[in-house]
Chains A and B, each alone.
Chain A
């Protein structure tokens, strides 16, 4: 069983839609949860990260963590064609147990159509 499950999509939405991207995980020791965005022919770039459970908002993006369900989400409001990319979730255990190891999901390919 994979430690992190992410639906690879592809997901196609019209401009202006609310997008919901999700990951589930099996290891309850994960404490830091991140979302990376990867444009075509580019490396992943950090979009947001959250610690433990709760919500974090940054502009049109909201990251949500539910540790009791082992479920994380990224919401994109008023989606734009420039949001078209692959979104990767990533998570890590406390540094004393995992060193520098991030565990990534497979990535969800998103296309926002004008």
Chain B
């Protein structure tokens, strides 16, 4: 496996379910991100982890709970979601500690979430 792998690719859940999205990167990066992509909207940054520590939470509702057990794995735990949370959730990774250069993100293919 190479790059950034996300599972599952598609997920349908009810508003009372608990589910998790998984992301794994094989690039040796040490920063990982969750983004939300909705139709007709720019990518929305949700969470950032640098060296397993959360460094950004972009005012995300608590029904989304991230977990980063190590620099290669990132999870997004989902609980009591709303229909408006239906979107494509993208994981990305980059080399943390970038200075004086572009922060180049490598994205996974995304997990398409539908909340009924």
Interface residues of A, Cβ cutoff 8 Å to B? 2, 4, 6, 8, 32, 34, 36, 41-46, 49, 51, 88, 90, 92, 95-96, 99-107
Contacts and interface: CB of A to CB of B under 8 A. Distances in A.
Contact of B42 (A45, A99, A106): A106
Interface string B1-22: 0001010000000000000000
Contacts of A49: 102, 104
Interface of B: 4, 6, 31, 33, 40-43, 45, 48, 50, 55-56, 90, 92, 94, 96, 98-110
Contacts of B105: 44, 46, 102
A106 B103 CA distance: 19
A104 B108 CA distance: 17
B98 A101 contact: no
A18 to B, nearest CB: 26
Contacts, number: 71
A95 B45 contact: no
Given A43-B109, A88-B43, A95 B33 contact: no
B42 A92 contact: no
B94 A100 contact: yes
Most chain A CB neighbours (cut-off 10 Å) among B41, B55, B103: B103
Nearest to B50: A100
B99 A95 contact: yes
Contact of A4 (B42, B106, B107): B42
Contacts of B4: 43
Contacts of A95: 98-100, 103
Nearest to B110: A43
A48 to B, nearest CB: 10
22 contacts: A36-B107, A43-B4, A43-B90, A43-B107, A44-B90, A46-B104, A49-B102, A49-B104, A88-B43, A92-B102, A92-B103, A95-B98, A99-B56, A100-B48, A100-B50, A100-B56, A100-B103, A101-B56, A102-B45, A103-B42, A105-B42, A106-B41
